[in-house]
Structure 1
Amino acid sequence: MAKRTQNNDLFRSAADIEADTPISVGVTTVGPEGFLAFQPMSLLDWASNFPIKDMKRLKFSLPGGRSDAEAVLGFFGVDSPQHWQSALPAASLALRQTQVLNARSEAVTAWVREAEIVASQIPLVDYDEAKLRSSLTELRGLTREQFDIAIEKAQVICSHVGVALVIVPELPGTRLSGCTRWLSDTHVLVGLTTRYKKDDQLWFTFFHEIGHVLLHRERLSFVVDNAAEYISDDVVDSGMSFYEDEANQFAADTLIPPAALTNFLDLHGETLTNDEIHNFAESIGVGPGIVVGRLQRDKVLEWHQGNALKQTVDWGFAEEEY
């Protein structure tokens, strides 16, 4: 079954199932020893730790015409499991997890690798921080448009400032929302998953990652952000809490200026009808679902309130049948 492609196949099919045997990892900032402790094993045993069936189903960039084990080696561009381990990012990689979620390290690295492969297909100019900052108003304005059209426009805008924006499905066992990685001194990857199905969650995650790009380049050249039941999830690792809080605040304030939100709640906090929320969103130039999501996160609205104003994202991409 042929898949639909847009913008160098930046969109990928959605994976919604959970992993059968996750490994509990909490939050890990990886040092020189590597991503996780690696025990020598045979090629077949090593390859069996990767969700190969799901990678095929979701049309990851596995080389064809090889055994599964050889395909995984080719996918990562290595010649042995030991080479895979030594090639992993070390001191600059941080994995954000919540207390209630687990992740499989092999699945996480496969997802990141696919994001890198897709990003490598995108023509980029050199990174320009000033242009990225000046593009924020245009980017936030895209939240008013139909999501599939808006995300394509966002990809173009990002490519013109040196940012490769890619969307890759969530592999079972990863529970990811996105990542930020500096591929070089002049190019940066922002990867998002198709985990979330509402526009407010996706746009918040996007601006969260942009916050990492703009605020944390010198300290965090590679961040993998885990998803949670809600996008305001708690960060376990105290060393990452500061950066995550900053990125969350950046996303929140970029999407909805604090003074405007305060004035709106002073005027309408007792009523908060859908019409009032819609009109406020129009006045500040964002989609109404963005406002609903913020009010829910701030516990001004209950989670069941206002959802009619959100966009439901239907990715609509076929998966390979196995």
Structure 2
Amino acid sequence: MATGWRGSYYRYKELFLNISVLYKKRADLRAFLEIVLSIVAVIVFVMFALKPTALTIISLVQQIKEERKTLSTLTQKANDLQKAGTLLAQNQRYIDNINTAVSSAPAPDMFMKQIEGLSARHSVDLMGLVVSDVVLIGSPKTIRISGELEPLPESANEMGYSISVKGSFSNIDNFMKELEKLRVISTIDSVTVNSSVTESGRVIVAVISGRVPYLGSSGKVSEVLSHKRPLSLSMMRKLESGLGIPAKVLLKTSEEFQTEKDISWNNYPIKEMRDRSYFGEKALEKSTLKELIEDFFRPIGSPAYVVGMLRKTYYRSKKPINKYSLAVWSAYVIKKANKIKYPIKFQKGSVDLEFMRKVAKLSVEFNGPLLARDLLIKYGIGLIIEPHFSNTYLDAMTILTNKDHPIIGLTIRQDRLDNFWFTLMHELAHVALHLDNPINLFYDDLDDKDVSSEEEGAADKLAGEALIPEDKWINSPARLIPSPIAAQSLARELGVHPAIVAGKMRHENARYRYLYALLGQGEV
């Protein structure tokens, strides 16, 4: 018998010849093979022809569902806009009064005209009207009022005045009553009354001293009107007593979240919450949206309570923010921070420039962000990292509702070392500077470079000083030369990561094409 490959060849040849002869002789075998091959052909056809069609049908069904959901959302928004239009029409006269009374600068001419009209209406002689020095153009200096006088609303400036009037007692009494109700809000600090007898009878001479508060810079007015800065309770009282605007109108900034029945449960980012496992083991198909949301918020309060906290908030962002998504993100950050076992309570004053520079020096370590988190916990501060939700445009948040344990939430939206360290320093600056501020929550979109808020401007300044002292920056070649060598040299001198210096060089000189390799992209 042949050996090697020839032997194998002859054996296989004989085998196939035998099978061929058998196939021709056996009709049943031929039928069986044809059936098997037909089945295989059908299977192949289904896999390569019908599968794409089935996938297309499934995709279209999903698309229809999404479009129906979008239509429902648009319908809800249209209804909300209609409600907003109705509310605007109902309160238009209050808005007109606000536009007249609340200005970004003192209005002595308007005030004097109103006093002249008031004196003529009540038949009193206006002997004198003096207003204090005011800045009509430029930034006015906030005047600190002594403890003997009634404090003005937070962050308000003032225009002092002194009015001398002469007339009968009843006329002067009516004059003063109307003075307190002027459209231009006025605070009366003191009244001096003298009387004398003349040929026409007894005459009363009254000298009235007081102040006209105004919100301050146009930036502050814009912040109030754009809901970045809330009206304080004292501001609301002044607007109510001075303009007759009901406080409930000023408090009712939106019909949403006032009560549980006003909450639109469909507006919550359910899909993103599910993808992030916010609902835990709770089955979505076995629970209503209301049950899911309430269960998520329950450890810290009701959904209405959490969103209510957002009203006492400063928003650094020009973009519209989805309050439902922001409430969910904030609640999750608070829940995670509440699980931290802090060794001590936060001590006011422990976060200062020296401490912030100590934190900044951790940037040179390969695990610097983790070391910073651990150091802050030792001081009673929670640092939570959680990606932002869609339509929130958020870099960070500082929560000061619990003075024992302030919370800093970061989104790492940019995922660059320079951005991480500046954002962290900015939020620490809020803790250092604004712990006792009436505003308890600061939301920061640091892409917004137009800083009109005093709080945000101060936080930016302290953060910059903590990372790179101004005296070092002014005398460094890095200020003028966009060179990696200059950046690394100043970083070594300060003991911080070169990304921090590179970020400042790019920002200060608007040279965003330079030094990208030093920023630590994707290294946070």
TM-score (norm 1): 0.77
CA distance in 2, matches of 1:152, 1:50: 31
One-letter amino acid matched to 2:304: Q
Q: Contact 1:119 / 1:166 at 8 angstroms: preserved in 2?
A: yes
One-letter amino acid matched to 2:228: T
1:76 aligns to 2:297 (yes or no): yes
1:138 aligns to 2:358 (yes or no): yes
Deviation at 1:224, TM superposition (A): 3.1
CA distance in 2, matches of 1:34, 1:123: 38
Q: Which residue does 1:103 correspond to in 2?
A: 321
Q: Contact 1:167 / 1:194 at 8 angstroms: preserved in 2?
A: yes
Deviation at 1:37, TM superposition (A): 3.5
1:210 aligns to 2:428 (yes or no): yes
Q: Which residue does 1:224 correspond to in 2?
A: 442
CA RMSD across the alignment: 3.2
Deviation at 1:85, TM superposition (A): 2.2
One-letter amino acid matched to 1:214: A
Q: Contact 1:50 / 1:106 at 8 angstroms: preserved in 2?
A: yes
Q: Contact 1:94 / 1:220 at 8 angstroms: preserved in 2?
A: no
CA distance in 1, matches of 2:496, 2:338: 31
1:190 aligns to 2:402 (yes or no): no
Q: Which residue does 1:116 correspond to in 2?
A: 334
1:28 to 228, 231, 234: 228
One-letter amino acid matched to 1:85: A
1:234 aligns to 2:450 (yes or no): yes
Secondary structure of residue in 2 paired with 1:180:
strand
CA distance in 1, matches of 2:423, 2:517: 20
CA 182–69 in structure 1, closer or farther in 2 if over 3 Å, else same: same
Bigger Rg over Cα:
2
Deviation at 1:121, TM superposition (A): 1.1
One-letter amino acid matched to 1:84: P
Secondary structure of residue in 1 paired with 2:496:
coil
Q: Contact 2:257 / 2:307 at 8 angstroms: preserved in 1?
A: no
One-letter amino acid matched to 1:242: E
Q: Which residue does 2:312 correspond to in 1?
A: 93
Secondary structure of residue in 2 paired with 1:298:
helix
Question: Higher helix fraction: Structure 1 or Structure 2?
Answer: 2
1:278 aligns to 2:488 (yes or no): yes
Deviations 1:175-198 (A, max 9, x none): 111111124231111111121221
Q: Contact 1:55 / 1:171 at 8 angstroms: preserved in 2?
A: no
Deviations 1:214-238 (A, max 9, x none): 001111452232325x3x6224xx5
Q: Which residue does 2:467 correspond to in 1?
A: 255
CA distance in 1, matches of 2:298, 2:269: 17
Q: Contact 1:103 / 1:173 at 8 angstroms: preserved in 2?
A: yes
One-letter amino acid matched to 1:191: G
One-letter amino acid matched to 1:67: T
One-letter amino acid matched to 1:296: R
Paired residues in the alignment total 282
CA 36–177 in structure 1, closer or farther in 2 if over 3 Å, else same: farther
Deviation at 1:51, TM superposition (A): 0.6
CA distance in 2, matches of 1:30, 1:213: 19
1:302 aligns to 2:511 (yes or no): yes
One-letter amino acid matched to 1:271: I
CA distance in 2, matches of 1:227, 1:310: 19
CA 280–86 in structure 1, closer or farther in 2 if over 3 Å, else same: closer
CA distance in 1, matches of 2:519, 2:401: 34
CA distance in 1, matches of 2:254, 2:262: 19
Q: Which runs of 5+ in 2 are unaligned?
A: 1-69, 82-224, 234-250
Q: Contact 2:356 / 2:428 at 8 angstroms: preserved in 1?
A: no
CA distance in 1, matches of 2:369, 2:252: 34
CA distance in 1, matches of 2:257, 2:336: 30
Higher RCO (C-alpha 8 Å, min separation 6): 1
CA distance in 2, matches of 1:264, 1:79: 49
Deviation at 1:275, TM superposition (A): 1.1
